């Protein structure tokens, strides 16, 4: 899901950098107000964990393998603010050291995966798990669902960012300057791979890790549980007795990469749907496309209304999106604050 | 055998990550053009060129920037073969696959009809695909050059010089450090699992085992972080990490900086005219 | 003898599992002390308490007559000089090496102390040469061998010129030559009247590195004395799980008695 350089226009990159900067600033402020000193190694090691987790090949139902992102377990253990920072750090290291993911698109990637991903994962987890015991099965469901939803939310954002490029950035003769696929293609193309594979992988890993922690170290699940905190020991060199302060932790990272296998087949499937956007459907599909069309299982409608091609709709969509995002973020923030009030502790 | 393939694939990813790091160190030690410049100049300069790549609308300008990148690579003792293997071919493949449908999907004037008229390749589609590929190739080449020629420590110090908060820089440093330790640990866990298990398991069991390995790694990570925190405190860490500031600009750094900015500026000016 | 550490009746738990139960001892300034005990006897925990990284749930510890408490360590005035004067070397060097390069690692302590850059660089170079790791200055930790890591870890604490050295199983995972180099180092500290407290279960090095021995078992001190006294008390050592007794062969004779495995075979 990392967006490389060249797919997004400079203005898109700048806007998303600004959005990401807000998220980073918020996360850092939160950390500073809690036990900042302990957070530094905790976040760092958790980020490294996420990084390595991303490399695990997870066998999925149906015979495919996928990669988990780790953002969900980060949000569950560390809380959204720490998760924001952690994932951003992981993404930054991927871009600046391993060369995966763009530098101009660092803001976009962090916005989609680290910020929105963490908030959505956290909100979903808290809502579904509300009130459940730390060791209950409902928390597993909550974690799995949170992973699935967060992955697809991030993918959806990326898809929209791609999809509005040709609408907004074309030259005089109609050549798209950046990502060339409109929303009608970009959204199904991105979403299929994530609805079917990446989201499932993330959900499985999130639930699996929560199950592991329920048995091995339930205290790590305490701080985001919304339940009254347990007793704390006198001296805690270890994390096992979380203090009343919030642990903000490191981000998980690793989103599924633009692996050709998952994407190209999804892309192939999307070709069929998108084809009808531009011209009437041919009576007989060419053999190449026919082969690819057999992979098509998505319920996305095979046509896109002409309004999608207009620039003004593009602006409208971005605006709507922004509003929707703000609503989502404030809902998540509310849930977070409510939890803190419930725990009865200042930062 | 698919069980073993999954584990093997994981191990390959882990060792590949470690391998990449070693290559970077070797290149960074060479005496070349980029290596001779102040790291801050490298970061600003190459970033400026990447910006120029995405700001320019003309493919000719982007190709020119690509050629400039190749020249800089040669002058910095970066082997073109390694760039080809590491950047050019993978990007061509991935971006090519992504861009391919644009040939037929982009509305415009048809120029080719390989499928007998129903899905013609349009001129606009061709331009869009080529533009995308050119942009991505050039941008990734430039960032790869930066990464290959700059040791991680210098990247961090450059970031510090750009007023990235100290806490963040410290976390970046530590994360990088522990990625290798955890990758090694994870690799060992997978290797021992590979050798210990016999027979083929069903998908659900394999998933459980992988999740379990991830869980153990998570526990070790948290434990490690606590130990590291104590270790830092033991040596006087009170909350704000202090570092040595290292860089001083010399005349060649200013020249380099100006050269990069001028090149980027000219590219944007021509590219958007 | 001026006491430097006074530990009185200290209790400490890790998540309800008691690690130290009512432990008391006194360590004099300039003494070299060995804490002998099997794994799990509480040696590492005690070292951490002495370094004020954790605080006891009951009992007290004082350093040069100053009590070591959470509040005390909050003030920079007390904490910074304390951190400089007391140094801890962990058993696992990976935990201690968290900086990107060897140079940074050794420079970390001095920088936290607030020393000036020029002084930091000078002291770091000096220490790296002393420990024979100057050629590793730009190396990343994951590229070091076990012995090199240990040397870097040692360098990173001795650069501060501490008065007290707390060593947790320092010879673990070291080859014989590195081990003997380390013992030489400890002996040089002894002769410059630094206080050295070593936690170990390796009996063969005790005489070289300590004038006084405390034997720990299950979180409290069960014996104290000179190395000769302690090492000759076979029953004590067996009980504390520091030696074992199993059937073994000398030439053509096979018998069983408490002994320890070391490079040299024991004589009869």
Confidence at residue A323, expressed as pLDDT on a 0 to 100 scale:
43
What pLDDT score was predicted for residue A301?
30
Q: What mean pLDDT is predicted for residues B222-233?
A: 86
**Minimal Cβ distance to C84: which of B156, B230, B236:** B236
Three-state secondary-structure class, residue B174: helix
Give the pLDDT band of residue A335 (cuts 50, 70, 90).
Answer: low
pLDDT at A347 over 60: no
pLDDT in tens, B142-158: 999 988 888 887 888 88
Shortest CA distance from A232: residue in chain C: C15
* Percent share of chain A, pLDDT over 90: 28
Residue B127 CA to residue B129 CA, distance in Å, equals 5
Question: For residue B226, what is the nearest residue in chain C, using CA coordinates?
Answer: C95
Would C265 be classed as within a structural domain?
Answer: no
- d(CA A97, CA A85) in angstroms, rounded, equals 17
Whether A263 shows a pLDDT value over 90: the answer reads no
Contact C112 B178 (CB under 8 A): no
CB C163 within 8 A of CB C194: yes
Q: Are C51 and C86 in contact (CB under 8 A)?
A: yes
Q: Which residues of A touch B43 (CB under 8 A)?
A: none
Contacts of B135 in chain A (CB under 8 A): 5-6, 178
Nearest CB to C95 within list B184, B227, B235: B227
pLDDT tens for each residue of C190-223? 888 899 999 988 888 888 899 999 999 888 888 8
| Chain A (262-321) residues lying within 8 Å, Cβ to Cβ, of chain B | 263-264, 267-268, 270-271, 274-275, 277-279, 282, 286, 288-289
Q: Dihedrals φ, ψ of A252, to 5°? A: -95, 155
Cβ(A347)–Cβ(A33) below 8 Å: yes
In angstroms, the separation between the Cα of residue B169 and the nearest Cα of chain C is 11
Asked if B62 and B131 count as a contact pair (C-beta separation under 8 A), the reply is yes
Average pLDDT (A203-213) is 91
Mean pLDDT of all residues in C252-266: 61
Facing residue for B225 by CB, picked from A41, A73, A282: A41
pLDDT reading at B242 higher than 90? no
Greater model confidence, B42 or B114 = B42
**For the residues A306-317, what does the mean pLDDT come to?**
39
Beta carbons within 8 Å of B255's beta carbon, 6+ residues apart: none
Alpha-carbon distance C80 to nearest alpha carbon in chain B (angstroms): 6
Cβ–Cβ < 8 Å for B69, B138: yes
Cβ-based contacts of A234 with chain C (< 8 Å): 13, 55-57
Least confident range of A33-47, A292-306, B202-216, C165-179: A292-306
Give chain A positions within 8 Å (CB) of C13.
Answer: 233-234
The predicted complex's ipTM stands at 0.87
Position A127 in a domain: yes
Inter-chain residue contact B243 with C111, CB threshold 8 Å: yes
In C, which residues are within 8 Å of B244 by CB distance? 107, 111, 117, 120-121
Q: Which of C45, C78, C94, C125 to mutate to test the interface with B (most CBs of B within 10 A)?
A: C94
Domain limits at C186? 3-259
Query: Average of pLDDT values for A63-72?
Result: 80
Chain A neighbours, 3+ Cβ pairs < 8 A: B, C
| Cross-chain residue pair B147–A97, CB shorter than 8 Å | yes
Residue A3 lies in a domain: no
Q: Between these two residues, A165 and B151, which has the higher pLDDT value?
A: A165
Tens digits of residue pLDDT in C94-120: 888 888 889 989 999 999 888 888 999
Q: Are C216 and C43 within 8 A, CB to CB?
A: yes
Per residue in C20-62, pLDDT (tens digit) is 888 999 999 999 999 998 888 889 999 999 999 989 989 999 9
Instruction: Examine the pLDDT at B117 and tell me if it is beyond 70.
Output: no
What distance in Å separates the CA atoms of residue C227 and residue C208, rounded to the nearest whole number? 9
Which range, A233-242, A247-256, B76-85, has the best average confidence (pLDDT)?
B76-85
For the cut 90, the answer to whether the pLDDT of residue C17 exceeds it is no
Report the mean per-residue pLDDT for chain A: 70
C90 contacts C172 by C-beta, under 8 angstroms = no
pLDDT digits (tens, 9 = 90+) for C138-154: 888 878 888 899 999 99
Minimum mean pLDDT range among A241-245, B43-47, B91-95, C134-138: A241-245
> Do the beta carbons of residue C215 and residue C37 sit within 8 Å?
yes
CA dist B142 and B146 (Å) reads 6
CA distance C258 to chain B (A): 35
Q: What is the pLDDT of residue A71?
A: 93
CA A234 to chain C, closest CA, distance in angstroms equals 6
Q: Which of C98, C99, C125, C135 to mutate to probe the B interface, most B CBs <10 Å? A: C98
- For the CA atoms of B126, B129, B134, B136, the dihedral, rounded to the nearest 10 degrees, stands at 180
Cα–Cα distance measured from residue A36 to residue A107, given in angstroms and rounded to the nearest whole number: 24
C207 Cβ partners below 8 Å, 6+ apart? C227, C228, C231
Q: Cβ of B244 and C120 within 8 Å?
A: yes
Q: Which residues of C touch B (CB under 8 A)?
A: 48, 51, 53-54, 76, 79-80, 83-84, 87-88, 90, 92, 94-101, 104, 107-109, 111-114, 117, 120-121, 138, 140-142, 156-157, 160
Rounded to whole angstroms, what are the CA distances from A143 to A79, A129, A218?
A: 13, 8, 14
Residues 60-79 of A with CB under 8 A from B: 60-61, 63, 65, 68, 73
B93 contacts A260? CB cut-off 8 A: yes
CATH of the domain at C22: 3.40.50.300
Span A107-132, pLDDT tens digits: 999 999 999 999 999 999 999 988 88
- What's the start-to-end Cα distance of chain B, in Å? 58
A299 has pLDDT over 50: no
Domain range annotation of chain B: 1-24+151-242, 31-150+248-271
Given a cut of 80, whether residue B221 has pLDDT beyond it is yes
- Check residue A268 and give its pLDDT: 36
B226 band by pLDDT with thresholds 50, 70 and 90: confident
Q: What is the mean pLDDT of residues B127-146?
A: 92
Q: Which residues of B touch C107 (CB under 8 A)?
A: 244
pLDDT category of residue B195 using cuts at 50, 70 and 90: confident
- Can you tell me the distance from the alpha carbon of A24 to that of A84, in angstroms, rounded to the nearest whole number? 7
Query: pLDDT at position C175, please?
Result: 83
Is C15 in contact with A241 (Cβ distance < 8 A)?
Answer: yes
Number of domains, chain C: 1
Instruction: State yes or no: pLDDT of A241 exceeds 70.
Output: no
Tell me, what's the pLDDT at C238? 77
CATH number at residue A185: 1.10.1760.20
What is residue A203's predicted lDDT score, i.e. its pLDDT? 92
pLDDT tens digits, B67-83? 999 999 999 888 898 88
Task: Give residue C86's pLDDT.
Answer: 94
A118 backbone dihedrals φ, ψ, rounded to 5°: -65, -45
Separation CA A240–CA A246 (nearest Å) = 13
Q: Is A56 on the interface with B (CB under 8 A)?
A: yes
- Confidence band, pLDDT 50/70/90 cuts, at residue B51: very high
Q: What is the mean pLDDT of residues B247-268?
A: 86
Range of the domain at A188: 10-343
Does A281 reside within a domain?
yes
User: How many domains, in total, are found in chain A?
Assistant: 1
Whether A235 and C98 lie within 8 Å, measured CB to CB? no
Q: Which residues of chain A neighbour B51 with C-beta distances below 8 Å?
A: 10, 104
Within a domain: residue C268? no
- Which chain B residues are within 8 Å of A223, Cβ to Cβ? none
Q: Which of C87, C90, C100 sits opposite B173 (nearest CB)?
A: C100
Query: Taking CB atoms and an 8 Å cut-off, how many pairs form between chains A and C?
Result: 23
In this prediction, residues A173-179 reach a mean pLDDT of: 85
Please give the mean pLDDT across all residues of chain B.
83
Chain C residue numbers with beta carbons less than 8 Å from the beta carbon of B225 are none
Contact criterion met (CB < 8 Å) for C142 and B233: no
The per-residue pLDDT for C239 is 79
Cβ distance of A59 and B206 shorter than 8 Å: yes
- Subunits close to B (at least 3 CB pairs below 8 A): A, C
Query: Tell me, what's the pLDDT at B246?
Result: 65
Give the residue among A187, A185, A267, A285 at the shortest CA–CA distance from B107: A185
Annotate B110-141 with DSSP letters as a single string: EEE-TTTTSSPEEHHHHHHHHHHHHHHHHHHH
Cβ distance of C98 and B176 shorter than 8 Å = no
| C74-92 confidence digits (pLDDT tens) | 888 899 999 999 999 998 8
Q: Which residues of chain B are within 8 Å of residue C99 when distances are taken between CB atoms?
A: 173, 177
**Looking at A265-279, B132-146, B147-161, which range is the least confident one?**
A265-279
Average pLDDT over residues A69-75: 90
CB contact under 8 A, B140 and A237: no
Mean local confidence (pLDDT), A49-63 = 77
What is the pLDDT at residue C261? 57
Least confident of A216-230, A298-312, C218-232: A298-312
Q: What is the pLDDT of residues C114-142, one digit of tens each?
A: 888 899 999 999 999 988 899 998 888 87
């Amino acid at each position: 899901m990392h967006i490389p350089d060249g797919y997004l226009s400079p203005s898109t990159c700048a806007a998303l950098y600004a959005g990401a900067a807000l998220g980073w600033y918020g996360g850092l402020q939160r950390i500073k107000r809690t036990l900042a000193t302990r957070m530094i190694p905790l976040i760092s090691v958790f980020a490294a964990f996420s990084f390595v987790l991303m490399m695990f090949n997870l066998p999925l139902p149906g015979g495919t393998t996928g990669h988990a992102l780790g953002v969900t377990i980060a949000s569950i253990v560390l809380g959204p603010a720490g998760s924001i920072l952690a994932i951003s750090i992981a993404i930054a290291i991927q871009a600046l050291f391993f060369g995966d993911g763009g530098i101009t698109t660092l803001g976009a990637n962090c916005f989609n995966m680290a910020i929105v991903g963490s908030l959505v994962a956290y909100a979903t987890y808290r809502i579904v798990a509300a009130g459940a015991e730390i060791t209950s099965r409902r928390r597993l469901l909550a974690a799995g669902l949170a992973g699935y939803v967060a992955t697809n939310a991030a993918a959806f954002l990326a898809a929209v960012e791609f999809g509005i490029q040709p609408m907004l950035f074309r030259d005089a003769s109609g050549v798209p300057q950046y990502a060339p696929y409109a929303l009608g293609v970009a959204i199904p193309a991105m979403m299929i791979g994530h609805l079917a594979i990446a989201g499932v992988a993330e959900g499985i890993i999130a639930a699996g890790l929560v199950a592991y922690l329920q048995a091995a170290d339930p205290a790590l699940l305490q701080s985001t549980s919304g339940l009254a905190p347990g007793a704390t020991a006198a001296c805690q060199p270890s994390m096992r007795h979380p203090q009343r302060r919030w642990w903000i932790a490191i981000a998980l990272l690793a989103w599924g990469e633009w692996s050709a296998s998952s994407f190209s087949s999804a892309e192939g499937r999307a070709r069929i749907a998108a084809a009808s956007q531009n011209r009437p459907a041919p009576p007989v599909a060419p053999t190449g496309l026919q082969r690819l069309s057999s992979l098509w299982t998505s319920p996305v409608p095979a046509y896109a209304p002409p309004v999608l091609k207009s620039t003004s709709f593009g602006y409208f969509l971005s605006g709507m999106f922004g509003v929707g995002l703000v609503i989502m973020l404030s809902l998540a923030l509310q849930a977070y604050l409510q939890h803190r009030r419930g725990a009865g502790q200042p930062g | 055998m698919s069980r073993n393939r999954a584990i093997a694939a994981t191990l390959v990813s882990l060792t590949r990550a470690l391998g990449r790091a070693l290559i970077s160190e070797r290149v960074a030690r060479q005496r070349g053009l980029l290596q001779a410049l102040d790291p801050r100049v490298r970061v600003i300069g190459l970033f400026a060129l990447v910006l120029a790549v995405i700001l320019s609308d003309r493919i000719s300008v982007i190709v020119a920037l690509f050629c400039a990148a190749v020249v800089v690579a040669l002058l910095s003792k970066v082997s073109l073969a390694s760039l080809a293997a590491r950047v050019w071919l993978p990007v061509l493949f991935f971006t090519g696959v992504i861009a391919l449908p644009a040939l037929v999907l982009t509305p415009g004037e048809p120029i080719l009809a390989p499928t007998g008229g129903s899905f013609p390749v349009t001129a606009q589609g061709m331009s869009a695909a080529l533009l995308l590929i050119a942009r991505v190739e050039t941008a990734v080449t430039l960032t790869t050059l930066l990464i290959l020629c700059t040791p991680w420590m210098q990247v961090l110090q450059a970031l510090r010089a750009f007023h990235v908060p100290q806490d963040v820089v410290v976390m970046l440093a530590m994360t990088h450090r522990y990625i290798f330790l955890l990758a090694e640990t994870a690799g060992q866990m997978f290797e021992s699992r590979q050798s210990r298990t016999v027979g083929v398991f069903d998908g659900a069991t394999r998933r459980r085992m992988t999740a379990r390995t991830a869980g153990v790694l998570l526990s070790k990570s948290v434990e490690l972080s606590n130990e590291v925190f104590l270790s830092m405190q033991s040596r006087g860490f009170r909350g704000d990490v202090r570092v040595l500031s290292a860089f001083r600009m010399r005349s060649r750094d200013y020249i380099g900086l100006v050269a990069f900015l001028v090149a980027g500026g000219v590219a944007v000016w021509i590219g958007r005219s | 003898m001026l006491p430097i550490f006074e530990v009185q009746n200290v209790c400490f738990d890790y998540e309800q599992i008691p690690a130290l139960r009512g432990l008391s001892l006194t360590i004099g300034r300039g003494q070299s002390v060995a804490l002998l005990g099997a794994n799990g006897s509480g040696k590492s925990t005690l070292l951490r308490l002495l370094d004020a990284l954790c605080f006891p749930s009951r009992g007290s510890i004082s350093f040069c007559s100053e009590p070591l408490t959470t509040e005390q360590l909050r003030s920079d005035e007390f904490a910074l000089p304390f951190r400089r004067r007391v140094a801890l070397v962990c058993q696992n060097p990976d935990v201690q090496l968290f900086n990107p390069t060897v140079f940074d690692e050794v420079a970390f302590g001095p920088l936290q102390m607030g020393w000036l850059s020029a002084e930091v660089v000078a002291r770091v170079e000096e220490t790296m040469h002393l420990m024979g790791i100057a050629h590793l200055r730009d190396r990343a930790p994951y590229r070091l061998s076990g012995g090199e890591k240990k040397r870097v870890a040692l360098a990173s604490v001795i650069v501060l010129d501490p008065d007290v050295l707390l060593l947790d199983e320092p010879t673990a995972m070291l080859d014989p030559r590195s081990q003997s180099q380390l013992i030489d180092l400890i002996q040089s500290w002894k002769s410059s009247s630094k206080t050295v407290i070593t936690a170990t279960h390796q009996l063969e090095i005790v005489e070289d590195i300590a004038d006084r021995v405390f034997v720990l078992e299950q979180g409290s001190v069960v014996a104290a004395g000179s190395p000769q006294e302690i090492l000759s008390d076979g029953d004590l050592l067996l009980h504390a799980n520091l030696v074992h007794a199993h059937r073994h062969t000398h030439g053509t004779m096979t018998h069983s008695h408490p002994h320890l495995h070391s490079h040299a075979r024991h004589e009869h």
